Structure 1
């Protein structure tokens, strides 16, 4: 029976029209269990749910989780049912999850027999009101904190009769009274007896009441009887009805200010005496146009003019003719006005025409109104200082030259030592082969292998020297460093014995870099060997990669860390020098780290080293990120077949290298035409066509690069390969290369592989065809 009555109540048409017409209040009905029975437009506006969303749902869903955990919705229903009303303010939750501060009234609805039919809920969004109230309370709280924390001003209130109503920390500090000692007392107790007899306190209140404000300075009395000079401001306070309800009083102790003003006056007087007593500095003033207005003895000593000779003259007379011609004096004044100061070191002219080096300072001067009234000029004779600096510079240059000679001596000694060792093997082997032509074939092959190995060592040493000098031609590839190092890990571990642990800490998703893989492997091997040698009793070597960002640049970091002995600071500064080594004699060339340093710089990166004695050493290599994609190689290394009868023009100024190159190409089945210079090559090319150009870069007269560019103009699709061992000024930056470069010394396999690649790119259809096929 009660439920049906509730149903009739919540569906009454007139009730629904009334409730739905209200938009500022959420008005809805709940059944006895707290489930929503009706839902008006105001509820939808305030809480966000439509009627379809919430009818039949428990109204506890509008409460915060904290209040639901405390059973606030259930308690509200019980209190309303028991006491006839439940009213509260608190946070409620909208459909979108946002909170609102709501004022809610919950009243029970009963039938004629007193049975509980449900509840009527009225909710209003009072978030803005609460925010205003909180802002007002916060403002009042902060204002009170501000007033109470101010110690430089006595800020307090008086009632209309002049009795003290409030007291802040500044008032306590200035006057010496605690709040309980003065609250309710008349403020006239702070005045001198003669001021009280003259009625000054009453006059202050009367003036403030009539005019709205009183301001003055006068002497006041502290609790201990001492006096101080006070700056006083009294403002009247009126309520909203315009009635006088008191005064706001602000007092500041200006005793020190007066003392400072007097001290400033005395100081200015002393300063004038000081300036007149200075003789090492020219201190004087200019008017706004740059004319001299005063002159101290120091100016007279430095520049030679008496005061009556120079006052009124333009300061440009101290400049050289050249400086005046280019407008230097006017520029100095303009700079001082614009930047607030002009400072420079330059030559100036004395009265007798002689020159001296001067340090000059020029600053604008403004009066209290902010108007520009002139310039302050300070000049010091620094001729002796300049002379000493020049002598120091010459000494430093001599020292630098000496250091360069020492480095060259170490470099030359190291090269001589290493190459003498290599030449000993070469000469001994060649001598043996010449003296014993009937040497057994096995021994002959052994000696020839020794020659090849020695040549490889010489090539490696030269590559290290070139990398140190940043002249090693690089063949960069786009690689994933983590992938490449993971593949090299097994090889590196084989370089180490079992007492060394190699840890690869390689970052996934590493940015790509563009680098010469061979140079990278050489540099990495040098670093690992150095780390191994620093740990004679074993230890850990950690190779790590990371993506980093430094100075706005995306970089890939490669670090090699060991747990070895570390390097002393005095040696750490020299580790990248050529032939400098921390190892015992005979335990290294000293080129490892210099090669690594040169390779990193040449690759567009940088390298640093960190070390602590007893705590190991870490090499940090930074390489720039590239957005270029990785490419697969067209041909596999080691492929040596070329089309039979390929016509190659070989251009090389060295007779021995040309002979070697010709023999090598003929062994590959090519028809070779020789030229010893670029001009000769162009003449031969005009006489008979060729299929391929193979030229050295560095040659007398026209270089190989210039030759290639000339040929490219007339024969755009001609395959051209350049060779270089050391190209110095003719070295071509990686990002500017038009032609591929083959590194010297080259092998048959390298030539065949590179020539084959170029022919494939140029579309030579003879590659892989039978002998005698038509040539392109």
Structure 2
């Protein structure tokens, strides 16, 4: 093969380099002479600088610089740096032929021959797109940083892989009250309670975040000043593109107020449920008491009739047993009505201190000889307006309850004092006002929380069989509520119990009222219209009234009663009517009788709870079932007495 001349090979090599350089369009690749004038020009340079080769070759390369850069001598310094350091590299703005600016990456290398610089090789790349992306990314990061720093309701910060704090936003400072310089580099467990730290809660949170991809929970955290608060915590792990754990993003929100609101809603819900339950039980017990009272009216009055007559002593014992049992049964229905808050009260003003001192012997007897009773008073002028008899019963019921909790003896301390309102009890909100607090504390066995939740329910008892009816504390509860007061209980197993009765303080001391002279129970024969829907009670009441010498006409409802009164031959002097009847009530019937036949007296009778609670509101005498023969004769005498009006009898 014939070899080409050496100079021809060199020319071919140079041509190949020229073709290669011209083929590159992403880079401006050209030569400068030693003064900086352009000596070559490739297609890439022509593409993004806008000059053709004939337009730029021979001109100084500073033409591509901005006026600001030329003014400060940047082109000359670039060449000087390339000569001094062997290379110049930087980024900056350059100018196209049309005057538009673009961001470039520039490399200038000196061309050296025989130890001297004969020119420069210059490579320029248009990186405007990358610059725009970097600027957009920077702006995005800045916006995100401003966003994070602007959030004050959330503590947002980063942790390194072991849990050390690496940044801190303004929300974290507001919630946890540390400045960034006080927490950066410290472990995030500093915000946990000592118990949580000792139990490894911080480490478990990070481990859960890694294992499950997220940790979320609510717990108590600690501020810089030691104050504790409820926090909702979210921890997310952060990984790089290769899956390496870089750290954690942590978001904490102060939910103390939300938690308190939820707890208040829950307390309100529980209080409402308890009130609804007690109200339902009250309606039930009121209805039961009504039915019992109808039955007891027959039993009790029948026993009284039999006791009045002469009979075999052996039979008399059984009659007395019937009468005694009916008395006890009547007491039970009275306690049921007390719980239902439907008992007829006769409130009057009295001094609690004097009342308790008057009960001292009865309290001591009820407590028993193995129990020490102490009475103490913070003041002497503690006046209230309540039913004194029911107050006495409530005190004795609490004493008996305390006694039964101290089988081996103990101590009962009774205190009375002023109270600036009623505290929150059983989920109810506190009530302001002037109250007298009567507390009874014992050293007995105490009660569990489960027992405390039921102690005021009728028939609930922890005592052995035949040791109690479960109605004593129900009476206390009903009396307190009906007297516009409250009863509170605190108790711990093995540490005794304290019952506190809150009753509204009376505005002033009572004025003595002259006693009413007793009426002689002498009732002339009357023509009585008896209105009673219960067949057994109606038949018995008619028989009893007839035994007393009265002429009785019995009807089963108010409509038939009006029809009987409207008859021309009717000469009734008194209407004796039940209250709760189908259709028109006894109160409505009494109102029509008073309007249409004003000379006819009316007596109401009922054993139903809500009727007894409204005694006196209608202006008619009311006889409570079960009634006795004596109470029936008394109300008849009062109703027919010329000196006594219906309003007087009703109280």
Q: Which has more radius of gyration?
A: 2
**TM-score, structure 2 normalization:** 0.47
**TM-score under structure 1 length normalisation:** 0.40
Q: Which has the higher contact order (CA 8 A, sep 6+)?
A: 2
